[in-house]
Structure 1
Amino acid sequence: MERLSKDTNALNWFEIPATDLTRAKAFYEKIFEVEMMVIDMMDTKMAMFPTEPPHSGGGLVQGPDHKPSKEGAVIYLNGNPNLQLVLDRIEAAGAEITLQKTSIGESGFMAFFEDSEGNLVGLHSGE
């Protein structure tokens, strides 16, 4: 059996559904203090999170097959160096923290929030 490289990341790509891409883009740009690039692909609009290889990429997506949800798979976005910095901007950006910064032992810290579109999203950081 062929094995995956130890450098292979289980996460290859992610998409966070949005019903209003402009609103969702403004929300994520505010809480992460980044600029997101918007692209159109067929009948779908996307706002891409900035990334550089070898890190996995992804973005916000608005299209007929993408519906925001608080149920199903949860992605954890990088909150390093300290996810509290991101949490401190969430409510001011118009969203709700559903689980405050919580220790997960040697693995760091986690938190959950419901974004501007109604998705449940996780945060993870070492501090």
Structure 2
Amino acid sequence: MSNFTPPHAIVWTEVPVTDLAMAKAFYTAVLQSELTDQEMGPFPTAVFPKSGKDSVAGHLYVGKPASPGTGATVHFAAPTPLEDSLERVKAAGGQVVSDIVEIPDGRFAYCMDPDGNSFGLFA
């Protein structure tokens, strides 16, 4: 057996949404970062910002989200303080579905976007 150890276990993430413009506005408000419109093959997407060529990111695309709270959970870096980011989730039409969890590497909370996609905000 080989021991493949990539520099990043996750190399890209895709978040399916029902309305790209609405989802882009939601994530822009919550993350306080502008997503960039980009064509990925034949599909329009909104790409999350990243700081460098080797950084990991992802995009929103028009697709079929899983039933609310049942799909994979993507964790996003959140502007601090985390409490302010969670208030923006609620103000933008999402839900905060957990208390803040403290771990050795930081703090996070689970949320759902307006399409029911599970995501975490990590600070």
Mapped partners of 2:48, 2:60: distance in 1: 8
TM-score normalised by L of structure 1: 0.82
Mapped partners of 1:72, 1:31: distance in 2: 20
2:5 maps to a residue whose letter is L
Query: Does 1:124 find its partner at 2:122?
Result: yes
Any idea what the Cα deviations from partners look like across 1:7-66, whole Å, max 9, x if unmatched? x0111000111100010000011111111111233442210011122210111111xxx3
Distance 1:83 1:54, change over 3 A: farther
Mapped partners of 1:68, 1:31: distance in 2: 19
TM-score normalised by L of structure 2: 0.85
Residues 59-98 of structure 1: matches in 2 within 5 Å? Answer: 59-62=59-62, 66-69=63-66, 70-98=69-97
Mapped partners of 2:35, 2:53: distance in 1: 17
Distance 1:114 1:2, change over 3 A: closer
Distance 1:2 1:97, change over 3 A: closer
Query: Does 1:27 find its partner at 2:26?
Result: yes
Distance 1:103 1:2, change over 3 A: closer
Mapped partners of 1:31, 1:80: distance in 2: 9
In the alignment, structure 2 segments of 5+ residues that lack a partner are none
* Root-mean-square deviation over aligned CA pairs: 1.8
The one of 108, 111, 117 equivalent to 2:109 is 111
Please, which moves more after superposition, 71-80 or 85-94? 71-80
List, as ranges, runs of 4+ consecutive aligned residues in structure 1 with deviation greater than 4 Å: none
Query: Does 1:56 find its partner at 2:36?
Result: no
2:96 maps to a residue whose letter is I
